[in-house]
Amino acid sequence: MHYVIIGNGIAGINAAEAIRALDPDGRITLIGDESFPPYSRPMISNVLEGSQPHERLPIRGTAIYSELKITPVLGQRVVRLDVDGNWVELIDGVRVAFDRLLIASGADPRPINADGLDLANIFFMRTQAHVKSQLEALPGAHRALVLGGGLVGFKAAYGLLRRGLSVTMLISSDYPLSLQVDETAGHLILNRLLDHGLDVRVGTSVSAFEGTGRVQAALTDDGQRLACDLVVIGKGVRPAQSFVPRDRIETDMGILVDDHLQTSVDTIYAAGDVAESIDIARGCRWVNAIWPEAAAQGRIAGFNMAGRAVAYPGSLSRNVMRIYDLDVMTLGYANPPADAPLRILRSGGVGKGFYRSLVFRGNLLVGAILINHIEQGGVLRALIENGVPLDIDPAALMASDFNFAKLLAA
């Protein structure tokens, strides 16, 4: 049995470890286009801000490959997948045949459409190489522009602020974190950023960059000219599936997988940011591109590939971040469209110092936004994750002192 894994991230390495735990003899080839052993991608922002050294990034040492008898093919990109021939082709033309394939290629930063993108000092924020380049550009840089008001945009902005740059955040939606939180929460966060003197511009995007050799200014589609000498593009990600033949393997936002992480082709599995699996809260397939889900999916895909049937319960979106004095937590289907057949209870808001929005489908809790008083997030998550039917008035969950004991008593 030859197992081939595309992607040397957390999903890929967890799969390799799970396979080896069940199959001591099968061949495992791990292909990754970054030339390093797996590392903590979320922690690259800590390296940018200077709170962690670069050396802390690896999550496995290079010895892992020999210990687990894995053949690493690093610094090589898969450019083609032949489903009928059971092989993948690397960028140098070499073909690697497989019996079972795992696609764990993660996600690519979402590109933007603007002139002048080839100027120096314009970076994405996805890999340790991106952060290394940003750090190399710091001497002489004073004004940074961060595009995107999501998690990655925030982490980049924070890191550059900590490095002493003045930072402008440019957000195309009307408020930050618009994919995760509703308008009330978004404005609470936006006000807090502005109160702290951060330069945040909402509802606008960059149409062009200007400069001689390196970036010196950005032009926005509403006519502003923003001087800058360093730009970070952190406008979300999209599954890295350019080599996947869409006429042979079913895809939507990502590669569609069933509850055993198998794609529409029996011998091919997918896991991590590239996979679109059942979202527990939404009740449909969705890409939840977060570390813990990539880790779990990789491990479960590996077990299934090696012949032990293990079901994946589905993914759940969850984020926690601190923005100045605001603790922000989102869970599940936190920000559904207004016409979704769901019931939403809200309390707090701008001027109150806290906000809570809970989303219900019938008697099930399916989503939550908490700003401050997030201590009960664990209980709420358990209710969503386990699909616990609520036989009590849902309003009980809005009280800031509810807990498991009170729920059980009720």
Residues 148-177: x where in contact with ligand FAD by CB under 6 A, - otherwise, as a string: ---xx--x----------------------
How many CB atoms are closer than 10 A to CB 54?
Answer: 15
Residue with tokens 């610094």: 75
Instruction: Find the binding residues for ligand FAD in span 103-132 (CB under 6 A).
Output: 104-107, 125-126
Q: Which is nearer to ligand FAD, 272 or 314 (CB)?
A: 272
Is residue 11 within 8 A of residue 4, CB to CB? The reply is: no
Q: Write out the two tokens for 183.
A: 């308008």
Given 19, 146, 294, 334, the residue binding ligand FAD (CB under 6 A): 294
Q: Packing angle between helix 10-22 and helix 291-305, nearest 10 degrees?
A: 30
Residue 131 DSSP one-character state:
H
Shortest distance in whole angstroms from residue 343 CB to ligand FAD: 28
Q: Which is nearer to ligand FAD, 144 or 364 (CB)?
A: 144
Q: Which of 10, 41, 297 is nearest to 152 (CA)?
A: 41
Residues 57-96: x where in contact with ligand FAD by CB under 6 A, - otherwise, as a string: --------------------xx------------------
Q: Which is nearer to ligand FAD, 41 or 60 (CB)?
A: 41
Shortest distance in whole angstroms from residue 25 CB to ligand FAD: 25
* CA 36 and chain centroid, separation: 20
How would you list the strands of the sheet with 364-371, edge to edge?
318-323, 326-332, 364-371, 355-361, 343-348
7 binds ligand FAD (CB under 6 A): yes
Q: Which is nearer to ligand FAD, 184 or 277 (CB)?
A: 277
Q: What is the largest CA-CA distance in the chain?
A: 68
Q: Write out the two tokens for 191.
A: 């006000």
10 binds ligand FAD (CB under 6 A): yes
180 binds ligand FAD (CB under 6 A): no
Shortest distance in whole angstroms from residue 349 CB to ligand FAD: 26
Strands 217-220 and 225-227: antiparallel
Q: Which is nearer to ligand FAD, 49 or 210 (CB)?
A: 49
Query: What percent of the residues of the chain are helix, what percent strand, and what percent coil, each to the nearest 5?
Result: 25, 30, 45
Given 290, 342, 398, 407, the residue binding ligand FAD (CB under 6 A): 290
Residues that bind ligand FAD (CB under 6 A): 6-12, 31-34, 41-42, 44-45, 77-78, 104-107, 125-126, 151-152, 155, 240, 243, 272-273, 289-292, 294
